């Protein structure tokens, strides 16, 4: 993914909060949704944007979907920023 898409995904405070939640380990979509005072559909949209930017990965286990941070994209972003 491009840096522009990554930065656009990171520009939203809710998405940054989701990433902060996931840095301690994977969480189910329900666990993530329960942590926010917004609709489940809104959380789902935020997760979709993070996934499209390749900042999170998801895995289905039974009827649950678990999300985790994709550190390689963040490492690429940090490497790019360090050039400055």
Q: Is the dihedral of CA 28, 47, 21, 55 positive or negative?
A: positive
Domains parsed from the chain with CATH numbers: 3-82 (1.10.10.10)
Higher-confidence position of 20 and 84: 20
Q: What is the pLDDT of residues 33-75, one digit of tens each?
A: 999 999 999 999 999 999 999 999 999 999 999 999 999 988 8
> Which residues are 66's β-sheet partners?
28, 59
Cβ atoms within 10 Å of 77's Cβ, excluding its own: 15
């Amino acid at each position: 993914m491009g840096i522009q898409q990554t930065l656009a995904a990171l520009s939203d405070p809710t998405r940054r909060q989701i990433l902060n939640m996931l840095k301690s380990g994977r969480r189910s979509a329900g666990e993530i949704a329960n942590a926010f005072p917004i609709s489940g559909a809104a959380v789902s949209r935020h997760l979709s944007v993070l996934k499209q930017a390749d900042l999170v990965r998801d895995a289905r286990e039974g009827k649950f979907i678990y999300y985790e941070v994709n550190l390689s994209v963040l490492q690429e972003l940090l490497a790019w920023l360090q050039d400055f």
